[in-house]
Structure 1
Amino acid sequence: MNRNTIKNVPPKHIVTTASYSEYFYIISVYIAKTILFSNIETRAAFYLAYILAGSIICDFFTPPTTFLASKYNHLNQYGVKIGWGWTITLLIPFIFSVSYVISNQNILIALKNCSRLLFATGIWYFWTTLFLIIERTVGVCILKEEKIAYSLCHSRGGKWIGLDLSGHIFLLTYCQLIIGEECKIYKYWENFKNNCNAKGNRTLNTNKSQTNSSSLPQNITQLRRCNSWDRIIKYNFLFIALLSLLWEVMILGTILYFHTTIQKFSAALIAVSSWFLTYKMYYTTNKNLSPGIPEDLMRQFR
């Protein structure tokens, strides 16, 4: 091989550790989008059918025992037991940061969008409290003595049989629907960021001499803001996707091992109804008296 041939050989691409981490990051975001961007109406209908059918099947066939069969497993004790806390802990910074950047640092708009979680927390608290009241009032104590109250049943060696609506199914189904609704805004965030980059780069090319941040055009300031927030928002999105996967596993565990069919399906129906009445009715028909839906933010700041 002569020298001219050697000179024409293109350099080999060297894959570095940074390249691997970037590929992993891109793949992770793609998987997260696949998980969270499914049609939310189809997902709601699927949960109802899935929980009903799965529960009926488990009434006739005993599922194999796994670690999910114990209510003392770590995923249940440290996950689902405080599941609403985990959900809003990840959703609040996600909603706030996206709303804050898109609205050009308008804190009031960001807080208004976060207030949907305040509504959701009230709904979650109402139903879970009502479930406990129903269980303790609509039931009987299996004991020789008659008319034993719930508070005395266990202390006297009895077993309380009540209408124990599945708080786990309600919580997990409701969380999944809320996550699905709120993460829609990530689609718009990517479009907004791409537009921001395009406008900022065009402006930057025509204003190369301006280095003072106070004199930079708004497009460049917004470009820098988008880039500084983008990685934070993406990692937040990834953690929400991981939490969503965990909730799917715990829904399956509850279907397989706990509660009766009517207790699980009733709880799922309440969760879906609560989501529908807020996101598909109240938030869309009462724009002035409600926080609105996530898509309203992008329509306002296109």
Structure 2
Amino acid sequence: MAAVDVIVDNLVTLWRIPAIRQNFHWIFLLISAVGSILKELELVPQTYFSSSRNALNVYFVKVTWGWTLLLLTPFLLLSNSSFSRSASFLGRRLLSLAVATTIWYVCTETFFYIEDATGSCFETDGVDVINKEFTSKASCRRAGFQWNGYDISGHSFILAYSALFIMEETAPMAFLKTASLSALPRMVLNLLYVALNLIVIVWVWMFACTSVYFHDPSHKLLGTICGVLGWYLTYRVWYLKPLSPGLPPQRHAKGLKQHT
């Protein structure tokens, strides 16, 4: 597992660079803006990833939040229990997962509602509204027709938000390198950390693909802004307040007396 240790050390070093952590959210806004321009100018050639049926989209992006929780939940439990076994401390850290899931659910449901409220059901190749009884995208498409509403990009939202969420919750790894962990927990923690970084790479790549291949510019930019705001209002505003889940541990376990 020496190779994994080296990878973990390199990843930790990368994420500790202030410019990367402080500006990571700007990357998504920049990609969304530039990608939208490239799409409108039709400067990007069609590739495997221009099809929504590509494997990464089908098996990962469509269940982005599931993959994020599947990998991040055990990492959060294992890493934070290394800092403190206090039930209240671990409870607050788990609450951050609940808050993030609530943000994901509320935003995606709001996007669906807006698309339904602003849309109409059209013939697939026509421009005439065919039937007022179809008042939602789901019912319209089940009938074999096409729904045209304001489709805020859920992919732009969830991919940006998930990557920023993972960045914040894996930050304690920088202080766990010197923690006294037995071999098995450390191995599991390292593997989860590497997997989470790999999934962030996938999210960023697929975010870029969404930006250059799909949606109208305003749909993507608004989805991206919602994702960035969801992260900013929690980790840069609310979590700094006393009545909140709080930020992930910011220093070595020995210094966390307030959580013990």
Work out whether the TM-score is over 0.5. Answer: yes
Distance 1:127 1:145 in 2: 28
Q: Which has the larger radius of gyration?
A: 1
Distance 1:150 1:277 in 2: 34
> Is structure 2 residue 123 aligned with structure 1 residue 167?
no
Match of 1:239 among 189, 195, 214: 195
1:181-234 Cα distance to aligned partner (Å, 9 max, x none): 11111112124x1xxxxxxxxxxxxxxxxxxxxxxxxxxxxx4x4555222211
> Is structure 2 residue 48 aligned with structure 1 residue 76?
no
Q: Which residue of 2 aligns with 1:269?
A: 225
Q: Which residue of 2 aligns with 1:294?
A: 248
Q: Which residue of 1 aligns with 2:163?
A: 176
Distance 1:274 1:121 in 2: 11
> Is structure 2 residue 29 aligned with structure 1 residue 48?
yes
Spell out the pairing of 1:1-302 with structure 2 (5 A cutoff). 22=2, 24-33=3-12, 36-37=15-16, 39-103=20-84, 105-143=85-123, 144-145=128-129, 148=132, 149-151=134-136, 153-154=140-141, 158-191=145-178, 193=179, 223=180, 225-285=181-241, 287=242, 289-295=243-249, 298=252, 299-301=255-257
Q: How far did residue 36 of structure 1 move?
A: 4.3
Q: How far did residue 41 of structure 1 move?
A: 3.0
Local SS of the residue matching 1:294 = coil
Residue identity over aligned pairs, in percent, reads 29
Local SS of the residue matching 2:249 = helix
Provide the aligned length of Structure 1 versus Structure 2: 247
Distance 2:46 2:10 in 1: 30
Distance 1:36 1:235 in 2: 17
Q: How far did residue 269 of structure 1 move?
A: 0.4
Q: Which residue of 2 aligns with 1:202?
A: none
User: 2:68 touches 2:162 (CA, 8 Å); kept in 1?
Assistant: yes
Distance 1:266 1:232 in 2: 37
Distance 1:158 1:297 in 2: 56
TM-score by length of 1: 0.75
Local SS of the residue matching 2:215 = coil
Q: Which residue of 2 aligns with 1:212?
A: none
Distance 1:47 1:102 in 2: 32
TM-score by length of 2: 0.86
Q: How far did residue 93 of structure 1 move?
A: 1.0
Shift in alpha-carbon separation, 1:84–1:261, aligned structure 2, 3 A: same
Q: How far did residue 30 of structure 1 move?
A: 3.6
Shift in alpha-carbon separation, 1:230–1:153, aligned structure 2, 3 A: closer
Q: Which runs of 5+ in 2 are unaligned?
A: none
